[in-house]
Amino acid sequence: MKLNRSTVLQEIRRMKFEEVYELRNEGRLTVEEAAKMLCMSERNLRRHIERYQEEGLDGLNDKRLAYAAHNAAPVDEVFALAELYSNRYQGYSSAHFYDKYKQYHLGKRSYNWVRLTLQKQGLVSKCKKKGTHLRKRPRQPMPGMMLHQDASTHQWIDNVYWDLVVTMDDATSELYSAFFVE
């Protein structure tokens, strides 16, 4: 049996259901408590119990996992895309290849599908994550080397807006001044 994320999660759900089912049968849990533990409604829990009693653990399997998605690409289409990239467009970026795929080869798939397929085949590398916009700057080592002055407008008193102007030291966070301006 192929172990992927969905089958592992399904197995965990089955094990958790068995534990809760035993506690429910022993009378240590109410149906409401058991349903909460399994993150489902009471009605859904009763359906699960009914299927478990009729079919055993196999009754709890998610039947949808046995079938391929209705919109999944055929294997030959994936191979054809990989062969096209390898033979004619080696070295192109995903975006440039996608333009050629749509324009000259009348491709029907989305850019994201093409990009992910090429990445899974190992033909195109993933882009590096961009750096953070505002990088954290280390504080200055000595007091007085850098002073920050900032002002913000707020309604400090009913219907009166004032600016609070604050001056502080970068190294020690010491306040040098704070005053209101109308």
The pLDDT score that the predictor gives to residue 151 is 92
Mean pLDDT of the chain: 89
**DSSP per residue, 127-159:** PPPPPPSSPPPPPPSSTTS-EEEEEEEEEEETT
Give the whole-angstrom CA distance, residue 90 versus residue 93: 9
13 neighbors 39 (Cβ within 8 angstroms): no
If one counts every other C-beta atom within 10 angstroms of the C-beta of residue 107, the result is: 19
Cα Rg, the chain, nearest whole Å = 31
The structure tokens listed for 13 are 């759900």
The pLDDT score that the predictor gives to residue 1 is 52
The pLDDT score that the predictor gives to residue 2 is 58
The pLDDT score that the predictor gives to residue 159 is 86
Q: Where are the domains of the chain?
A: 5-66, 69-136, 147-181
Cα angle 157, 158, 159 (rounded to 5 degrees) comes to: 110
Those residues of the chain that have pLDDT short of 70 are: 1-3
The structure tokens listed for 163 are 């600016």
